Amino acid sequence: MYKVFINDIPIILSTEKKVGSQYASFPIKKAKIKKLIKKIEKGELLYVNLYHEKEEKLLKHLRKQLKSVIAGGGLVYNTKGEILFIYRNKRWDLPKGKADKGETIEETAIREVEEETKVEGLEITRFIETTYHILKRNGKYRLKETYWFEMKTAFTGELSPQLDEGITKVKWKNFEQTQKALRNSYENIKLLFPKEYLTIHPNDREKEKQKASV
């Protein structure tokens, strides 16, 4: 199963014709992806399952209708166990960017993290996973496939946001700060984190309810 996000709404790609009572299911081979995207953007359709009996065919058929953009990014830890975040478009995000011709995806991920934050001394410790989301570029829909790597660094120097990429802040965040940042982040970013980072403390949940009622 795959999740392909349009903003924060996931399209499910699965081998099952039925995944839930709320979901409208379409065979991915015959589905008109761009029409479905437009309906989702308008709020006319929020639960979509695209299916094929062979899992390896799911992304293949999606890529036939949407040109892929390949990117790499990092979930970066320092020696204190803090995580490196960027702030862009009023949300906390992780550094990432489009691959350049001739690069390996690992080289892309390290370069983009360095360019967007000015961190140094990065070392990849493992591959995490690939996330998928649909964006619009020059009036055309694209499938962005981002390969994420866990990284570590002993860097203690000054961080600096890449302003020409719309990044306004770069911050190291501890466990509690990361939990808070993820409440104002993207659903595909949350997929990269252990579940304990996504758990909301009962006291914090109550505070959020009180804020919402004001």
pLDDT digits (tens, 9 = 90+) for 130-184: 999 999 988 999 999 999 999 999 999 999 999 999 999 999 999 999 999 999 9
**Beta strands per DSSP E along 52-122:** 67-77, 83-88, 91-93, 96-98
Q: Do 74 and 161 sit in the same domain of this protein?
A: yes
Q: Do 159 and 117 sit in the same domain of this protein?
A: yes
- Count of domains for the chain: 2
Domain extent, residue 41, equals: 2-65
Q: Do 76 and 60 sit in the same domain of this protein?
A: no
CA nearest neighbour of 144 among 38, 73, 40, 57 = 73
Q: Do 54 and 74 sit in the same domain of this protein?
A: no
> Residues 40-64: what's their mean pLDDT?
95
| Position 210 in a domain | no
Q: Do 35 and 118 sit in the same domain of this protein?
A: no
Q: Please, what is the average pLDDT of the chain?
A: 93
Per-residue pLDDT band for 200 (boundaries 50, 70, 90) equals: confident
| Position 130 in a domain | yes
Q: Do 16 and 73 sit in the same domain of this protein?
A: no
The CATH number given to whatever domain includes residue 189 is: 3.90.79.10
Phi-psi region of 43 (alpha: psi -120 to 50; beta: other; left: phi over 0): left
Q: How far apart are CA 49 and CA 10, in angstroms?
A: 9
